[in-house]
């Protein structure tokens, strides 16, 4: 048996086309990304986000601050952007240099401009199952599952990884859709016992090939969120041999990756609806 591949590009392109239509209808959406320092991986991500934002007609500003920037300086910049009526959406790229407390910076964002959905207000709304700004990668995964009509109600879903960016929001979105959700992590005993029962398995750990074919339920849906740079190029958290066991599998690259940026742009549209009062932000 060979799994059906769930590729992200066609779905992402459709989302981006819809965003471009929304931007044209709204007239102006201002997105500011902030990159502190010159981490090469972050630089690549920011460039990709910018290119996509500009292509959709979003007015995107690529703000770069020096590695030595103090926490107070960054907080002052965030507050300035919070107050700027031309700015709908703000993204502070993580990780931040060690002298800056990330949690403090995330808390300084105006929740309705928090395009990443990282602010505790947004995380809390998600926890409560209320509509809000939700991190882009797990939203992208949900769109991929929906594209293939994957039954979630009553399904056993296993998420490997408990990060605030992917694992935790992913688990909440699956729970909202009535899946029975298990979160596994580095201390989980007998991981395979959990994964083998998973109708839907989402791997978001950052360990190349850690999900081996013998850990996958035959016919199950496997979503690989891992993007690991290795000597062999970009590889996921799932061993590609899992395609012989799974019913559906997302490839790396070309799977979840393109969805993250598309859903981030959708979030920017949502931010603009909040700022314009078309949607009520829950505050």
Under rule CB under 6 A, residue 94 binds ligand GUN: yes
Please tell me whether the peptide bond between 57 and the residue prior to it is cis, using omega within 30 degrees of 0: no
Please give the DSSP secondary-structure letter assigned to residue 205: S
Under rule CB under 6 A, residue 157 binds ligand GUN: no
- Residue 149 makes CB contacts below 8 A (sequence gap 6+) with none
Under rule CB under 6 A, residue 165 binds ligand GUN: yes
Among 93, 182, 195, 267, binds ligand GUN (CB under 6 A): 93
> By three-state DSSP, how is residue 240 classified?
helix
Least separation, in Å, of the C-beta of 73 and ligand GUN?
18
Phi, psi of 191 (to 5 degrees): -55, -40
Least separation, in Å, of the C-beta of 225 and ligand GUN?
11
Short-list 32, 42, 104, CA closest to 67: 42
Short-list 160, 221, 225, 169, CA closest to 188: 160
Binding piece for ligand GUN, criterion CB under 6 A, among 11-19, 76-84, 85-93, 152-160:
85-93
**Total of chain residues touching ligand GUN, rule CB under 6 A:** 6
As annotated, the active-site residues are 49, 93, 116
Under rule CB under 6 A, residue 91 binds ligand GUN: yes
129 Rama class: left (phi>0) / alpha (psi -120 to 50) / beta: left
Least separation, in Å, of the C-beta of 213 and ligand GUN?
28
Angle at 117 between CA 221 and CA 255, to 5 degrees: 30
Under rule CB under 6 A, residue 164 binds ligand GUN: no
Please give the DSSP secondary-structure letter assigned to residue 211: B
Distance of alpha carbon 206 from alpha carbon 224, whole angstroms: 10
Under rule CB under 6 A, residue 88 binds ligand GUN: no
Under rule CB under 6 A, residue 109 binds ligand GUN: no
Least separation, in Å, of the C-beta of 93 and ligand GUN?
5
Angle at 149 between CA 274 and CA 240, to 5 degrees: 100
Nearer to ligand GUN, 49 or 194 (CB): 49
User: How crowded is residue 158: how many other Cβ atoms within 10 Å of its Cβ?
Assistant: 27
Nearer to ligand GUN, 106 or 215 (CB): 106
Nearer to ligand GUN, 57 or 135 (CB): 135
Nearer to ligand GUN, 118 or 248 (CB): 118
Under rule CB under 6 A, residue 250 binds ligand GUN: no
Under rule CB under 6 A, residue 116 binds ligand GUN: yes
**Structure tokens that stand for 15 in this block:** 């989302």
Residue facing ligand GUN at closest CB distance:
94
Under rule CB under 6 A, residue 23 binds ligand GUN: no
Please give the DSSP secondary-structure letter assigned to residue 117: -
Q: Which residues contact ligand GUN by CB under 6 A?
A: 91-94, 116, 165
């Amino acid at each position: 048996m060979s799994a059906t591949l769930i590729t992200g590009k066609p779905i992402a392109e459709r989302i981006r086309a819809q965003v471009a239509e929304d931007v044209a209808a709204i007239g102006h959406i201002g997105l500011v990304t902030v990159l502190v320092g010159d981490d090469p991986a972050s630089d690549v991500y920011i460039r990709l986000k910018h290119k996509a934002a500009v292509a959709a007609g979003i007015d995107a500003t690529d703000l770069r601050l020096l590695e030595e920037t103090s926490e107070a300086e960054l907080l002052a910049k965030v507050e300035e952007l919070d107050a700027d009526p031309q700015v709908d959406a703000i993204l502070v790229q993580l990780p931040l240099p060690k002298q800056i407390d990330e949690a403090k910076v995330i808390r300084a964002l105006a929740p309705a401009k928090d395009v990443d959905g990282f602010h505790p207000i947004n995380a809390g709304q998600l926890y409560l199952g209320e509509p809000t700004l939700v991190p882009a990668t797990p939203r992208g995964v949900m769109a991929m599952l929906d594209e293939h009509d994957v039954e979630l109600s009553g399904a056993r879903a296993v998420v490997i990884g408990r990060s605030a960016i992917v694992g935790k929001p992913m688990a909440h979105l699956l729970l909202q859709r009535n899946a029975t959700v298990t979160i596994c992590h580095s201390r989980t005993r007998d991981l395979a016992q959990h994964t083998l029962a998973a109708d839907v398995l989402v791997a978001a750990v950052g360990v190349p090939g850690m999900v081996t074919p013998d850990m996958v339920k035959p016919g199950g849906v496997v979503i690989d969120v891992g993007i690991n740079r290795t000597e062999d190029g970009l590889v996921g958290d799932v061993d590609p041999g899992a395609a012989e066991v799974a019913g559906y599998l997302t490839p790396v690259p070309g799977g979840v990756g393109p969805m993250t940026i598309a859903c981030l742009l959708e979030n920017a549209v949502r931010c603009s609806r909040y700022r314009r009062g078309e949607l009520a932000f829950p505050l």
